[in-house]
Amino acid sequence: MNSQVIKEDMKKARDIMSHRVVWIRPDYTVDAGIQIMEKYKIGGLVVVNEGRLVGVVTFTDLHSRHPNQQIQDVMSKKVVTILPETTVHEMYDLMKRHNIGRLPVIDEDNYVIGIVTKGDLLTEFNSFAIPDAVIGESGNTSTTIKVDSEAASEKKSETRNWKEVYKRAYSFIENIISAIKEGKEFTIDDGFGIITHIINNQEAIDALCLRATYTENSLDALVSHPVNVTIHALKIGIGLKYQRRQLVDLGMAALLHDLGMARIPKEIIEKEEKLTDKEIEVLQKHPKYGKELLLTLGEDFAWLAEIILQEHEREGGLGYPRGLKGYDIHEYAKIIGLVDVYEALTHLRPYRKPFLPHEAVKEIMGSQRKSFSSKIVKTLIKQLSVFPIQSYVRLNSHAIGRVIGSSEAHLLRPTIQVLYDSQGRKPANKRIIKLHEEPLLYIIDSIHEKDLPL
């Protein structure tokens, strides 16, 4: 073990904990708890009565409860806590063993004196300043501190950009899949916080959609696929004018839709040749496995388990596992099912090259048209655009441009700004091309930013 590792392991909770702990009283309502968590992008709160820790409550605990219920009626009294002397190694072990992301720090009298998050251990700590909540300070847990809201917002905007959001969602799925494969318990609480954060920052969704469309091949597709599907599904939900609560539900269902794939043998998932009938039969069990896994978390997630079970059902009744038709399929499942196919088509698979976005749409509109709701297909085309805004494309003239505009009437022929001419040179003057007005020019390829000429 090198000296740096020894030095870090000698650190205690008191050395890295935050003395500001967002907490809530047991007599607060469920609605108040949800508002605090949604507003400040956190997935849970510690429950404190007269300075002493009495429980914890997560977004999941509150999600299906009546708004006027009190926190004390829904909180969990089983809390994993640590003392100030707990080492970094011990904290990491506790988080991994219990699959949790935060540890309240208490003193010998059970007073909350701080909190340690997974981010603290990864040296990526992001603080949340809560202007309208009670925040306990070390040595003075009953003090109410007022924090400037604008300053807090600026702080959050600096530390939480869309790349970090994608990374957070990726890690969330990666950890759950790892837990399932190892036969360990898992929780989905943090997922609600991730989805809420995306919904609260809709201006970043276009950037996230671009990231989802052009995911690097180096990422694990079993992990990146559900993250990409979630982003695209939320975009469609917005296009369908879903309310906030609907978007949260849709996002969670999309994020967890392939949970059952963790139980499918790796050799089947990564097989390059055509699957045998027996292998297909095994693969098609993953919706059932996903439902079973979610039901281990309790009946509160029965609705979520049912949506995941339906994700491969199709309009005409030719899907699986139950061959449901039309109105018998939940609309969330219809959205996820369509985006699942779109995302898979636009990414590399062991047995084929990726489709360009417009080729994927053509494929869906052609051979799979009757499989999906026409309303949802139209919304996908409208919301995702065949060529996303800010994406890079190559024309048949070999010029390279950035998509800066599109319209429903000309989805395959967007407006682009030329960045490099056919010789790879930057144009002397700004040049905008409306492809729908240039019949001799058309897009032949999509390009990753990293592949642009130097």
Residues 420-434: pLDDT tens digits? 998 888 998 889 999
Predicted confidence band at 122 (pLDDT cuts at 50, 70, 90)?
Answer: low
434-445 tens-digit pLDDT: 999 998 999 888
Q: Which residues of 72-93 are buried (b: 16+ CB within 10 A; e: fewer)?
A: bebbeeebebbebebbbebbee
76 pLDDT exceeds 80?
Answer: yes
Find the DSSP H helices in 99-220.
Answer: 118-121, 149-159, 162-181, 189-200, 205-213
249-296 tens-digit pLDDT: 999 999 999 999 999 999 999 888 889 999 999 999 999 999 999 999
What's the average model confidence in pLDDT over 98-106?
A: 82
Phi and psi (nearest 5°) for 19?
Answer: -85, -10
What's the average model confidence in pLDDT over 138-143?
A: 32
158 pLDDT exceeds 60?
Answer: no
Q: What is the dihedral of CA 251, 252, 258, 263, to 10 degrees?
A: 170
- Straight-line distance from the first to the last Cα atom of the chain, in angstroms, rounded to the nearest whole number: 42
DSSP-based three-state secondary structure for 388? coil
Residue 87 confidence (pLDDT): 85
Instruction: Report whether 274 contacts 283 (CB < 8 A).
Output: no
Residue 132 confidence (pLDDT): 33
128 pLDDT exceeds 60?
Answer: no
Task: Tell me the fold of 166-384.
Answer: Hypothetical protein af1432 (1.10.3210)
Whole-angstrom Cα distance, residue 222 to residue 269? Answer: 9
Predicted confidence band at 38 (pLDDT cuts at 50, 70, 90)?
Answer: confident
The kind and range of the H/E element at 394 are: strand 392-395
What's the average model confidence in pLDDT over 363-377?
A: 87
- Within the chain, all domains assigned CATH 1.10.3210.10 are found at 166-384
300-348 tens-digit pLDDT: 899 999 999 999 999 999 999 999 999 999 999 999 999 999 998 888 7
Residue 240 confidence (pLDDT): 95
Who wins on pLDDT, 252 or 452? 252
- Within the chain, all domains assigned CATH 3.10.580.10 are found at 3-158
Is the pTM higher than 0.85? The answer reads: no
Residue 31 confidence (pLDDT): 84
Whole-angstrom Cα distance, residue 60 to residue 75? Answer: 10
Task: Tell me the fold of 3-158.
Answer: CBS-domain (3.10.580)
181-239 tens-digit pLDDT: 999 999 998 898 889 888 877 777 777 887 787 766 656 889 999 999 999 999 999 99
Predicted confidence band at 60 (pLDDT cuts at 50, 70, 90)?
Answer: confident
72 pLDDT exceeds 70?
Answer: yes
Q: What is the mean pLDDT of the chain?
A: 81
Instruction: Report whether 54 contacts 77 (CB < 8 A).
Output: yes
376 pLDDT exceeds 90?
Answer: yes
